[in-house]
Amino acid sequence: MKMTRTALIIALAMPFSLVSTGIAAQTSKPNIVFILTDNLGYGEVGAYGGGITRGAPTPRIDSLAEEGSRYLNFNMETQCTPSRSSLMTGRWAIRSGTHSVPFGGVTDGLTRWEVTIGEALSDAGYATGYYGKWHLGSKDGRLPNDQGFDEWYGIPRTTDEALWPSASGWSADIMPPEQIMEGKKGEKSRELGAYDVVQRRKIDAEITRRTVSFIEKQAKADKQFFAYVALTQPHLPTEPNPEFKGKTGNGDWADMLAEMDAHVGDILDSIDKAGVKDNTIVVFTSDNGPEYIRPWDGWAGPWRGQYFTALEGGIRVPFMIRWPNKIPAKRVSNEILHGVDMFATLATFGGAKVPTDRPFDSHDQSDFILGKSEKSAREGFPIWCADRLQAVKWRNWKLHFYRQDNMFDPPVKNPVPTIFNLYTDPREEKPTVDTWVVGPVLKIVGEYQESLKQSPLIPMGTPDPYKPGASL
């Protein structure tokens, strides 16, 4: 179309960013869709050696590795709650009183003093939605809509509680069932019904439906959005949706994997249909290693161990990230990353602020993920099992202070720390004599211990209101 002289003068007088909507779109902050699975082992999806070898191909999940980057050394904490805490706050969970999966009798979850990535991105102008398992507080005041999210739907705790209503001897008078809930910022969350095995089979479909609706709504409103999608699969009981039951012919686990892939596909399709693919970051990962309890036990690929242990199988998980034309496609890296780094990294991508008034363990990995650097901003990290510093990982070495082969084994303190070279012994079975590694490992431990002098740990069960330095 030919531009008139008047229109041309007006256009030239306008700020350049307002002249071209194409350029404006390219320079705007990205949408973020963060998909977190529950106890999905390293070796489950096709891009990490699983998929068809586990009874069901995962083409939609694997497409993120083709269109984006795949990381072979992405690490989490050893249990669900601490992993979710460090993702949410950018701080080791030991600092926040969330170092262990909570059981009844104590105040659970994050204090309101903690700053979440939801709050940071909300303050930066994002619409924020949380869908799925929370596990960071089960009472009003500590639910997602109290911690920076405009809306949420899901369960406040965890999926094994779905077994309670059908358990022999169980009574709601003794132990009330977990509730599926929803809520909006500034309002009290409401209960939608008991989370039992029937609802367990259906909840990921509803999580996905609500995520898709949120994406469509925000894209239509031309609003930057952050969708945190905490799927409940494959946490025990690993029961597929009725629509997927028997679909693969290879059992419930494979049917669940096919279901998970379909849900991820639905989310990716909604991003495409909304026309925001080029400006949307999509992450796919897991909160820790695989299940241990049969018949729902998972697979950690080449690594030994599972969740609740400091072995590689307990902490190393799949991680893929896509941002078309920004994050390199088909890139594969074995550089160390940790879930705690997601806060600083996503904050950089979203133009959000990070806390400066407390120890903050998150490293900004934006340059590394964008391909501007071949090296991660992190060389190592401490590994806690509950409140016990169990091991430290540094480069391709691992130093264990305790021995524990599975979640039910009592931890046994080693008379001297055992050191493993993960290149030559990925299953951590044959200690090396590389004692020089103790130096950089103890530096990591020392830096953490030094930080405690100014900011003591928040004890698990600490009620609100909490303020640093106040007597508990």
Domains along the chain? 28-379 (3.40.720.10), 381-451 (3.30.1120.10)
Residue 105: the pLDDT is 66
What is the per-residue pLDDT across 261-286, written as a single tens digit (0 to 9) for each?
Answer: 999 999 999 999 999 999 999 999 99
pLDDT of residue 106 exceeding 90, the answer is: no
pLDDT of residue 176 exceeding 90, the answer is: yes
pLDDT of residue 64 exceeding 50, the answer is: yes
Alpha helices in 221-298, H assignment, sequence order: 252-273
Rounded-to-integer distance, Cα 230 and Cα 143, Å: 14
pTM score, whole prediction: 0.94
Bridge partner residues of 397 (DSSP): 394, 421
pLDDT of residue 75 exceeding 70, the answer is: yes
Residue 157: the pLDDT is 97
Rounded-to-integer distance, Cα 288 and Cα 347, Å: 23
pLDDT of residue 17 exceeding 50, the answer is: no
Residue 6: the pLDDT is 41
Banded pLDDT at 470 (limits 50, 70, 90): low
Rounded-to-integer distance, Cα 381 and Cα 94, Å: 13
Banded pLDDT at 377 (limits 50, 70, 90): very high
**Tokens found for residue 369:** 């993920």
Residue 15: the pLDDT is 38
Question: What value does the mean pLDDT of the chain take?
Answer: 93
Rounded-to-integer distance, Cα 261 and Cα 52, Å: 12
Contact 289, 316 (CB under 8 A): yes
What is the per-residue pLDDT across 424-465, written as a single tens digit (0 to 9) for each?
Answer: 999 999 999 999 999 999 999 999 999 999 899 999 999 999
Q: Which residues of 123-146 are buried (b: 16+ CB within 10 A; e: fewer)?
A: eeebbbbbbbbbbbbbeebbbbbb
As a whole number, mean pLDDT of residues 339-343 equals 98
Rounded-to-integer distance, Cα 232 and Cα 236, Å: 9
Phi, psi torsion values for 388, nearest 5 degrees: -105, 120
Report the share of the chain in percent with pLDDT over 90. 92
**Tokens found for residue 84:** 């979710």
Pairing state between β 69-75 and 337-338: parallel
> Which has more confidence, 361 or 9?
361
What is the per-residue pLDDT across 215-252, written as a single tens digit (0 to 9) for each?
Answer: 999 999 999 999 999 999 999 999 999 999 999 999 99
E strand map for 336-396: 337-338, 380-385, 388-394
Contact 422, 303 (CB under 8 A): no
